[in-house]
């Protein structure tokens, strides 16, 4: 009679040979399923008679032992794949794991930066302009423009670097862009962002050419480059942003275009902005995506109370 561990060995051999599963994945499946089979043996459960309730009991026990939602979801996935194999081999009539609901995974809070830290980045980029000359100064002016635009609008980095040149036509206080799914939205421009654009394009505040400022070369893109796309790549901008973080005294791993997008949204909500308005500015199709930022504010309030309320430590 074939034992449960022999069935497991056959399953591992099958996914290794036929599916080309990576070695780390195979090791993970093996550890997870051996633990599950040990649980069945300890509770006198027979593999061929396994029920959804027994799988649920196993996962509940794992949670009580401190295994996190992500790890439990991975184990359930391994069990489902193993049961699916047993059904294919006619060892089981149906897959009992399909009836088991996966654990709810806690939504990770978005990483963000404080207003002071964003200010440090902006000041550092201004300093780079003052210290540079020639082509280096032109690049520093372009980078500063990108930084101001990103923090002023909360655009996705792909939306930012691929802005068309004609996006500046019309009202200079607004940008009309197309985001995910071709959805169009309008983004107000702050005074500093408009000034950064003027300097980048070689214009004075009144829109006249400034002979002391490099003019962006003519292109259909606002931020052209020699890349295959014809515009600055998001990877290059992200690299430059991390270099700026080092200059500003901020850990580079804490700074990215997406984290600045998070900062934009968090700082707006922190100052009383309406959640629906922030949703529209970010270009989220579903407000539930935007609601994650309210959790950031909740965590800040909890920290504030715990650190400063006189009764918090009692």
> At residue 213, does pLDDT exceed 90?
no
pLDDT attached to residue 219: 78
pLDDT per residue over 216-253, tens digit each? 456 789 999 888 889 999 999 999 999 999 999 999 99
Q: Is 180 a known active-site residue?
A: yes
Catalytic residue (one of 29, 85, 151, 293): 293
CA-nearest of 75, 80, 70 to 58 is 75
Residues 107 and 45: their CA atoms lie apart, in Å, by: 34
Catalytically annotated residue among 80, 84, 242, 258: 258
Structure tokens at 114: 């404080």
pLDDT at position 280 over 80:
yes
> Model pTM?
0.62
Residue 309 annotated as catalytic = no
Q: Could you say which of 180, 236, 246, 300 is catalytic?
A: 180
Of residues 286 and 94, the one with the higher pLDDT is 94
pLDDT of residue 173: 87
Q: Which of 156, 199, 234, 267 is catalytic?
A: 156
Domain annotation for the chain: domains and CATH numbers: 4-99 (1.10.150.130), 115-307 (1.10.443.10)
**Distance from C-alpha of 176 to C-alpha of 187, rounded to nearest angstrom:** 6
Is the Cα dihedral 186, 189, 194, 196 positive or negative?
Answer: negative
Most confident stretch, 93-107, 112-126, 199-213: 112-126
Element (H, E) at 177: strand 174-178
- Asked about 156 being catalytic, the answer comes back as yes
Active-site choice (144, 199, 261, 267): 261
19 catalytic residue (yes or no): no
What are the contacts of 99-108 at 24+ separation with CB within 8 A?
99/52, 100/52, 100/55, 100/56, 100/59, 100/76, 102/72, 102/73, 102/76, 103/59, 103/63, 103/69, 103/72, 103/73, 103/76, 104/69, 105/69, 105/70, 105/73, 106/69, 107/292, 107/295
Residue 117 CA to residue 295 CA, distance in Å, equals 20
């Amino acid at each position: 009679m074939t034992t449960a561990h022999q069935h497991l060995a056959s399953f591992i051999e099958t996914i290794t040979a036929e599916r080309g599963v990576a070695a780390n994945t195979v090791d993970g499946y093996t550890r997870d399923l051996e633990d599950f089979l040990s649980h069945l043996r300890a509770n006198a459960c027979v593999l061929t008679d396994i029920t959804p309730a027994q799988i649920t009991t196993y996962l509940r026990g794992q949670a009580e032992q401190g295994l996190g939602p992500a790890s439990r979801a991975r184990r359930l996935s391994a069990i489902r794949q193993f049961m699916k194999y047993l059904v294919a081999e006619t060892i089981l009539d149906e897959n009992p794991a399909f009836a088991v609901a996966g654990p709810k995974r806690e939504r990770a809070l978005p990483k963000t930066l404080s207003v002071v830290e964003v200010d440090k980045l902006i000041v550092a980029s201004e300093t780079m302009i003052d210290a540079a000359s020639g082509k280096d100064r032109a690049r520093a002016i372009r980078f500063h423009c990108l930084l101001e635009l990103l923090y002023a609008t909360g655009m996705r980095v792909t939306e930012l670097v691929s802005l068309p040149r004609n996006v500046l036509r019309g009202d200079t206080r607004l940008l009309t862009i197309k985001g995910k799914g071709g959805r169009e939205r309008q983004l107000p421009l702050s005074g500093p962002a408009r000034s950064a654009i003027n300097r980048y394009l070689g214009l004075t505040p009144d829109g006249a050419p400034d002979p002391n400022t490099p003019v962006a070369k003519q292109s259909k893109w606002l931020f052209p480059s020699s890349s295959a796309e014809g515009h600055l790549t998001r990877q290059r901008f992200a690299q430059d942003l991390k270099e700026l973080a080092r200059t500003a005294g901020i850990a580079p791993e804490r700074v990215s275009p997406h984290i600045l997008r998070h900062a934009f949204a968090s700082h707006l909500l922190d100052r009383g902005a309406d959640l629906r308005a922030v949703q529209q500015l970010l270009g989220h199709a579903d407000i539930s995506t935007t609601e994650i930022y309210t959790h950031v504010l909740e965590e800040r309030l909890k920290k504030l109370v715990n650190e400063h309320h006189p009764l918090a430590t009692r």
